[in-house]
Amino acid sequence: MPFDLPLGLAVSYEQNWTPSQVMNWNLTVEHQLSKDILFKVGYVASLGRHLAYNTDVNAPLPSPTATADNEDARRPFQQFGQITQDTAGGNSSRR
């Protein structure tokens, strides 16, 4: 049985896709200065690497006559609708 064209959605991963990594850490130091005074300082941070985000690699091309009705005709690969590509290129840092 053949597929009906255009296919509505396809999903792919970038060639060098890497699983996401998220790291969290904290450090706290306490020191009793006197019977009634406590000194406490802390540091908290997190770091993310290879965070995933999606793009449509078959997005309709811009056109001065662009309308919702001619969206599929403006796609680079007209036999497909949206082609979602998962990319592992995001990073985060929180301190």
The pLDDT tens digits of the residues spanning 48-62 come to 999 999 999 999 898
By the 10 Å C-beta count (0-12 exposed, 13-18 middle, 19+ buried), 39 is classed as exposed
CA 93/CA 83 separation, integer angstroms: 30
Domain ranges of the chain: 7-94
Confidence of residue 2 (pLDDT cuts 50, 70, 90): confident
CA 26/CA 29 separation, integer angstroms: 10
Residue pair 57/13 in contact by the 8 Å Cβ criterion: no
Mapping DSSP to helix (H, G, I), strand (E, B) and coil, where does residue 67 land? coil
The pLDDT tens digits of the residues spanning 26-45 come to 999 999 999 999 999 999 99
Confidence of residue 25 (pLDDT cuts 50, 70, 90): very high
